Amino acid sequence: MAKKAIMQTPLGPLTELGQFKKDIIPGFNIIEQVGKGASSVVFSATDKKTGERVALKVFYLHYCKNREFVHRLIREADIVKRIRHPNVVAGYGYGTYEGYYYMVMEFADGDTLTQLLKTKLRLEEKEAAKIILQVARGLEAAEKQKTIHRDIKPSNIIITSAPEGIIARLTDFGLAREQVDTSLTMPGLILGTPLYVSPEQARGETNLDIRTDIYALGITFYQLIVGKPPFADLNTSLLLTKKITDDIPYPMHAAPGVSEETSAIIMKMCQREPARRYQNCASLIQDLELYLDGRFEPDATRIIQLSVEAPLSQEEIKSITDAEIKSGTLDPQVLTFSNPKILRPSEILFYEEDTSREAYLLLKGALEILKAGRRVALIDTPGSFVGEMSTLLKTGRTATVRAVERTILLEISEGKFQEFLHCTPEIALNLARDLASRLQSTTDKLKKAQGRLSTIIEHYRLIRDDLEKPLDE
């Protein structure tokens, strides 16, 4: 972030930081603004007692009035004070003045990794590995304090220069917590940055451990050598779903010149299942050190693929279809217009925003409907239609559909679906009624969303007015 000198003008709102006097916070002389984020502004300052240059992280007033936010702030200050490591920006404590809370931290004079990537889209592998190794060592110090960061990303890694080379330092433990404590986490709430969160974070799980940070550090490693994080071009909803349903692209296939050794380490860091990742920072550090020494063997981290179920024979499929027709679940005419489709467990039928137009009938098995990585519905009733609304309305898919178990479907193309409905008027009528019901439900939800938006706009106006009040009022 660009530095900005402090202007010596009367006190004013925190949104206009140039209006802060250099001695506004007792015990410190503010030198200049060095950063600004969504919740706070960071100044470099001098501690009047020690003469040491420090960083003051001052939080916006409306956050300081939020009891849970203050609780998190105090928790962060306490956590960072306990972690002492060359690769972690040290924290000295917190304070409050005139309703504002602030944190006092070691001043790290450098750029974030995000800023570095603006000038160098990709880093050389060894350079990237050295940075990741240092951050891993910092995380190991946090791990020893039974603490996880939960928001590892390039903007929370500061790069400073030293005679021995660059030093990477981890900062901003604002979402950190002790591994045994879930008191500050609500079930279903995603904490972290979507591009870097782990699959378990995307699912809203609360029982997280250091493997969550290892995943996010792996995504950061991927970005350093590929040029962008996995799934970066997707909307947030589909991104979070793919975190759960798909492995990240193999790095050496995503960018030219990436080695098999680096790819193997990243793939192990970013496995969807925590049990298949590095289980602690020590094992990750060991492999990174071996890689940098030229002694790492990719086969040592190779992930064993699970066995695949044997395919169903045509006779088995026919037997299942005949049973559903006999029970009255399935209209026999559908066989004229469809072809069988078999999904393996966890296999995707289609993704959100796909432009495919096929409709499906469920014969056997179960499908889950995923939105933003969460299951919003389960389809397990034989004879149920799947994806038919996109076929009827000629629109993109609105959610991702994945098999829960081995699932058998009948696939009907867009053209044949119209013919099928023409031959089965009762089914066509039921689908029309269902479509009308869904459209009405969508209309009702939009009206509610509009009401909530109006409330948010009013809330923002009140916050803005609050921020614009002079501090001495």
The SS3 assignment for 465 reads helix
Q: How far apart are the first and last CA of the chain?
A: 31
Q: 187: which DSSP letter?
A: T
Residue 5 tokens, joined:
């000198």
Q: Which of 23, 78, 151, 213 is catalytic?
A: 151
246 is catalytic: no
Distance (Å, rounded) from C-alpha 153 to C-alpha 223? 10
For the chain, how are helix, strand and coil distributed in percent, rounded to 5?
40, 20, 40
Contact 162, 184 (CB under 8 A): no
Distance (Å, rounded) from C-alpha 263 to C-alpha 136? 17
Distance (Å, rounded) from C-alpha 5 to C-alpha 7? 6
The SS3 assignment for 273 reads coil
Q: Which long-range contacts (CB under 8 A, 24 or more apart) does 250-255 make?
A: 251/222, 251/225, 251/226, 254/222, 254/226, 254/230, 255/122, 255/225, 255/226, 255/227
Contact 174, 72 (CB under 8 A): yes
Identify the sign of the CA torsion 435, 377, 231, 182.
positive
Q: Would you name the residues annotated as active-site residues? A: 151
